[in-house]
Amino acid sequence: MHPGFLHWRRARACAQQAAHAAHGGGGYEAAGHGPGPMFGVRRPLRVMAHELELDDDQVEALARIIDELKTHRAQAAVDERRSVGQLADGLLGNEFERTKVTEALHLRVQSAERLRDAIVEAMASTHALLRPEQRKKLSYLLRSGQLTI
């Protein structure tokens, strides 16, 4: 490749990463580490620590909360893939297997309920961790879309 094009490729890659990060992306990919988890601890924690002016103890506690939530989200993704396989199995035979499809959709509902409970716990723990002015700022960040749950 001609050396004159290298700066163009680098600039384009940086612009794509910035656009991805602005739309809620994060984790390894936004940090320039290539493909990887889209929801990581780094970006949300970094943004929250900066925007909410968290002290070191708050950052440490929030890192644990976000990491736990990330684990629950990963498990929900595994459950989603498993349910897709079960749905496909329900269509495989000569006759529609209603029980397999029902079980697959029940797995999705259970997974969504577990994730919901994990989000509620994470929000309750975060609420207890923050001072009133920090809660107000976090509420604004959520409403404005700068942070997502």
pLDDT at 47: 85
Q: Output 60 or 30, whichever has higher pLDDT.
A: 60
Say if residue 41's pLDDT is above 80.
Answer: no
The pLDDT of residue 93 is 87
Mean pLDDT of the chain: 81
Q: Tell me what pLDDT residue 2 has.
A: 54
Burial classification of residue 107, based on how many CB atoms lie within 10 Å of its CB (0-12 exposed, 13-18 middle, 19 or more buried):
middle
Please give the share of the chain, as a percent, with pLDDT higher than 70: 72
Do residues 86 and 97 touch, judged by C-beta distance below 8 A?
no
- Which of the pair, 51 or 9, is modelled with greater confidence? 51
CA–CA gap between residue 15 and residue 113 (Å, rounded):
37
Taken as a whole, the chain contains a residue count of 149
